[in-house]
């Protein structure tokens, strides 16, 4: 919570975002007035018959039923991690475990938010922690500002090109290694 | 298989290399040499027309009055001063300074101008084991595409260029930068990657989704 | 900062008492819970078949989605939602004037109308306790 998921969807979407924000009663955990309790929805239209649908889902584990709904249907995920949280690396690792299948098909980019407030851990530390548990994964991990349309587009494009390259080279690359 | 780090001295080992003749090539070579020995070094670099560039390798930080976006510019009359930091010695400058990675990315991509860095060898193939922090580096989408390729197999610079549809000079530049950042696995033994001529993800679709979205977003 | 309902002993006690009374009124009531807008239990009936915190989270998601649909269709704020299934139905509505929701599961022995009326009554009584 507090990583900027709703803001990120708003930065990317070309339509008015459908939001499901509720009053946040955990102000002691993250001091913000509202929190997403179901999903945020946005779109980028590519053509008359093609669009990229983006669903933002809450990170709190009590909403993991929403994860279950989307992870079987999603092509990829930008995992936003709040670097100002108590243990952002542990949070990332927990999500990688929960979305293991997406990760292994190249469908995950990790966006570390609020690094301007909390510069540690660095993206290198995130990557090393991930490599200890999943040495075979090479996940794009970078700092980003969810308010920045430019940076969110970069994350989305990275996600898509990584998925496509995994689909193209992944099996051969595994055999090569 | 081994890491891209290799022992060398601060003196350029191949002074005849045209790529290394330019000033930034020398600067980059010196920095890479210090990174290879992983010593607690302090480095001062003087480039004519610029304020001194200071690097404190213990803290992975640098300071320089020159804006990195001004690179590449010709660097002439380059001189270096190195010093091993004594244990407990204060930082060379007021921390945090700037992350050394920022400098390494820019130098790596620009210093050798489309040629392989002198510490890398023809015949090697490279694979990414960790992505650079693209959030802090100015980069082109072609570089993102090459990174995604490198994350999925071992490629020579020429193979990388073909796989990503990029000029081979850009592949050399990126490999140089990633090597400098210590983000590559290197192998001389691995066989070239064999892939189907028509990637399954692009069958009957024309341009890839990446290409279509890039075009849609104007990037 | 005001105390959130789930952390306010007076609210929790009052909500528990209301649910117990509600259960006494309707034998068809299988389960019921007062929950916060963001999916925390304030009070719930004891249940062996329902994971209370999980039910609260799902109920808050449903509430938010129904609000989003009503907003999208410009039909005003959603008043209540009903999920009807083979062996029962869930009726859910906001506690008027507050950031709480009452969600109740009934078996098929009750009519939808009676169940809705009962749920409305107790949601309104909660308003009297927490203010609105």
Listing DSSP states for chain C in one string gives: -PPPGGG-HHHHHHHHHHHHHHHHH-TTEEEEEEEETTS-EEEE---SS--HHHHHHHHHHHHHHHHHHHHHTT--S--EEEEEETTEEEEEEE-TTSSEEEEEEE-TTS-HHHHHHHHHHHHHHHHHHH--
| A177 occurs within a structural domain | no
Question: Is residue B119 in a domain?
Answer: no
Provide the shortest C-alpha distance from residue A57 to chain C (in Å): 11
Q: Are residues B31 and B83 in the same domain?
A: yes
CATH of the domain at C126: 3.30.450.30
Pairwise pLDDT comparison (A173 vs B135), residue with the higher score? B135
* Average pLDDT score over residue span B148-155: 95
Tokens linked to A80: 């936003």
Q: What share of chain C has pLDDT > 70, as a percent?
A: 98
Determine, for residues C1 and A27 on separate chains, whether the beta-carbon distance falls below 8 Å.
yes
User: Which residue, B63, B83, B110, sits at the end of a domain?
Assistant: B110
Residue C47, chain A, CB below 8 Å: the answer is: no
Domain count, chain A: 1
Domain assignment of residue B48, yes or no:
yes
Interface contacts (A, B; CB < 8 Å): 128
> How far apart (Å, rounded) are the C-alpha atoms in residues C49 and C45?
11
Cβ contact (<8 Å) for C37 and A27?
no
Chains B+A touching (3+ CB pairs under 8 Å): yes
Give tens-digit pLDDT for B166-184.
999 999 999 999 999 999 9
- C1 reaches A (C-beta below 8 A): yes
Q: Is B206 on the interface with A (CB under 8 A)?
A: no
Contacts of A47 in chain B (CB under 8 A): 212
pLDDT at residue B72, as a whole number: 59
Chain B residue numbers with beta carbons less than 8 Å from the beta carbon of A126 are none
Average pLDDT score over residue span B56-84: 86
Q: Do chains C and A touch (3 or more CB pairs under 8 A)?
A: yes
Would you give the distance in Å from CA C121 to the centre of its chain? 11
The A-side interface with C (CB below 8 A) comprises: 18-27, 35, 37-39, 62-63, 65-66
Asked if A22 and A35 count as a contact pair (C-beta separation under 8 A), the reply is yes
pLDDT, mean over chain C: 91
Query: Can you tell me the distance from the alpha carbon of B40 to that of B88, in angstroms, rounded to the nearest whole number?
Result: 11
Full domain range(s) for residue A122: 5-169
Q: How far is CA A3 from the centre of its chain?
A: 10
Domain co-membership, B168 together with B95: no
For testing contact with chain A, the best of C39, C40, C66 (most A CBs within 10 A): C39
Structural domain including B105 reads 2-110
Is residue B115 one of the residues assigned to a domain? no
**pLDDT score for B20:** 55
**Would you call B134 and A156 a contact, using CB atoms and an 8 Å cutoff?**
no
Q: Are A160 and B209 in contact (CB < 8 Å)? A: yes
For chain A, 177 residues long, give each residue's pLDDT as a single digit of tens. 677 899 999 999 999 999 888 888 877 777 778 888 888 999 999 988 889 999 999 888 888 988 888 888 899 999 999 999 999 999 999 999 999 999 999 999 999 999 999 999 999 999 999 999 999 899 999 999 999 999 999 999 999 999 999 999 877 776 776
Is residue A66 in some structural domain? yes
CA atoms within 13 A on the CB side of A61: 6
Say whether both B147 and B88 belong to one domain.
no
What pLDDT is recorded for position B197?
A: 55
Gap from A30 CA to chain B (nearest CA, Å): 24
Tell me the mean pLDDT in the region B135-158: 95
Distance (Å) from the alpha carbon of A6 to chain C's nearest alpha carbon: 14
C97 and chain A: CB distance < 8 Å anywhere? no
Domain-located, residue A176: no
Chain A residues whose CB is inside 8 A of the C38 CB are 22-26, 35, 37
Q: Quick check: is B211 in a domain?
A: yes
- Cβ atoms of residues A123 and A161 within 8 Å: no
Q: Which chain A residues are within 8 Å of C56, Cβ to Cβ?
A: 62
Q: Average pLDDT for residues B183-197, to the nearest whole number?
A: 84
| Alpha-carbon span B49 to B59, nearest angstrom | 27
Place of tokens 């927990």: A94
ipTM attached to this prediction: 0.92
Contact (Cβ atoms closer than 8 angstroms) between residue C59 and residue C92: yes
Please give the average per-residue pLDDT across B85-111, as a whole number.
Answer: 93
The residue out of B59, B87, B110 marking a domain boundary is: B110
Specify if A105 maps to a domain: yes
Chain A CB within 8 Å of residue C38 CB: yes
Given C5, C60, C72, which is nearest A22 (Cβ)? Answer: C60
Q: Give the model's pLDDT for residue A111.
A: 97
Indicate the number of domains in chain B: 2
Determine the angle formed by the axes of helices B100-110 and B168-180, rounding to 10 degrees.
Answer: 150
Tokens of C83: 């999920």
Element (H, E) at A97: helix A88-98
Residue C103: give the domain boundaries.
5-130
Taking only the tens place, the pLDDT of each residue in B28-52 is 999 999 999 988 999 999 988 889 9
Search chain A and give the residue with CA nearest B129. Answer: A138
> Does residue B161 share a domain with residue B137?
yes
Q: Which burial class, exposed, middle or buried, applies to B72 when counting CB atoms under 10 A from its CB (0-12, 13-18, 19+)?
A: middle
Same domain, B8 and B80: yes
> B116 in a domain, yes or no?
no
Residue A174 maps to a domain? no
Residue A163's domain is classified under what CATH number? Answer: 3.40.50.300
B56 found inside a domain = yes
For residues B102 and B29, state if they share a domain: yes
Same domain for B7 and B96, yes or no, is yes
pLDDT of residue C132: 62
Burial class (CB in 10 A: 0-12, 13-18, 19+), C60: buried
Inter-chain touch B216–A144, beta carbons under 8 Å: no
Q: Check residue B73 and give its pLDDT.
A: 67
Give a yes or no: residue A48 inside a domain: yes
Four-residue CA torsion sign, A69, A72, A73, A79: positive
Average pLDDT over residues B87-98: 91
Q: Which residues on A lie below 8 Å from B163 (Cβ)?
A: 169
If one counts the domains in chain C, the total is 1
Nearest residue of chain A to residue C68 (CA atoms): A20
pLDDT of residue B196: 58
Final residue belonging to a domain, choices B110, B138, B171: B110
CA distances from B102 to A14, A154, B46, B56, C81 (A): 33, 18, 19, 14, 54
Nearest residue on chain A to B208, judged by CA atoms?
Answer: A164
């Amino acid at each position: 919570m507090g990583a900027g998921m709703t803001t990120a969807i708003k930065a990317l979407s070309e339509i008015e975002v459908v939001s499901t924000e509720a009053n946040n009663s955990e102000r002691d955990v993250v001091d913000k007035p509202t929190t997403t309790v179901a999903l945020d929805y946005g779109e980028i239209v590519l053509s008359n018959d093609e669009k990229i649908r983006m669903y933002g889902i809450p990170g709190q584990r009590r909403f993991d039923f929403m994860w279950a709904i989307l992870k079987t249907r999603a092509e990829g995920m930008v995992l936003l991690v709040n670097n100002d949280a108590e243990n952002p690396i542990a949070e990332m690792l927990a999500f990688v475990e929960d979305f293991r299948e997406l990760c292994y098909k190249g469908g995950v980019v990790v966006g570390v938010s609020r690094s301007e407030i909390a510069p540690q851990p660095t993206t290198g530390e995130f990557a090393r922690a991930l490599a200890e548990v999943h040495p075979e994964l090479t996940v794009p991990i970078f700092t980003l500002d969810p308010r920045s349309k430019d940076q969110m587009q970069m994350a989305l494009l990275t996600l898509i090109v990584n998925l496509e390259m995994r689909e193209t080279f992944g099996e051969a690359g595994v055999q090569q290694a | 298989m081994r890491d891209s780090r290799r022992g060398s001295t601060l003196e350029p080992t191949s002074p005849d290399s045209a790529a290394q003749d330019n000033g930034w090539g020398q600067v980059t070579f010196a920095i890479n040499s210090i990174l290879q020995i992983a010593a607690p070094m302090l480095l001062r670099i003087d480039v004519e027309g610029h304020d001194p560039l200071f690097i404190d390798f213990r803290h992975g930080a640098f300071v320089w009055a020159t804006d990195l976006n001004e690179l590449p510019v010709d660097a002439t009359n380059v001189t270096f001063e190195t010093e091993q930091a004594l244990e407990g010695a204060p930082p060379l400058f007021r921390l945090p300074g700037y992350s050394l990675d920022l400098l390494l990315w820019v130098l790596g991509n620009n210093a050798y101008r489309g040629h392989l860095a002198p510490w890398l060898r023809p015949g090697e193939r490279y694979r990414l084991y960790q992505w650079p922090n693209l959030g802090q580096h100015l980069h082109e989408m072609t570089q993102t595409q090459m990174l995604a390729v490198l994350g999925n197999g071992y490629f020579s610079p020429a193979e990388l260029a073909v796989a990503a549809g990029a000029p081979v000079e850009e592949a050399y530049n990126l490999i140089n930068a990633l090597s400098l950042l210590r983000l590559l696995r290197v192998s001389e033994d691995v066989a070239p990657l064999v892939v189907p001529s028509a990637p399954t993800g692009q069958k009957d679709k024309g341009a890839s989704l990446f290409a279509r979205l890039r075009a849609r977003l104007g990037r | 900062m005001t105390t959130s309902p789930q952390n306010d002993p007076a609210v929790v006690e009052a909500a528990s008492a209301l649910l117990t009374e509600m259960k006494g009124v309707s034998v068809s009531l299988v389960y019921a819970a007062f929950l916060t807008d963001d999916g925390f239990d304030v009070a719930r009936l004891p249940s062996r078949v329902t994971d209370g915190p999980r039910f609260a989270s799902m109920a808050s998601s449903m509430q938010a989605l129904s609000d989003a649909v009503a907003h999208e269709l410009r039909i005003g704020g959603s008043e209540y939602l009903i999920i009807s299934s083979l062996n029962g139905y869930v009726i859910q509505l906001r506690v008027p004037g507050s950031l709480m929701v009452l969600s109740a599961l009934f078996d098929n022995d009750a009519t939808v109308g009676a169940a809705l009326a009962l749920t409305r009554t107790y949601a309104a009584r909660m308003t009297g306790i927490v203010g609105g």
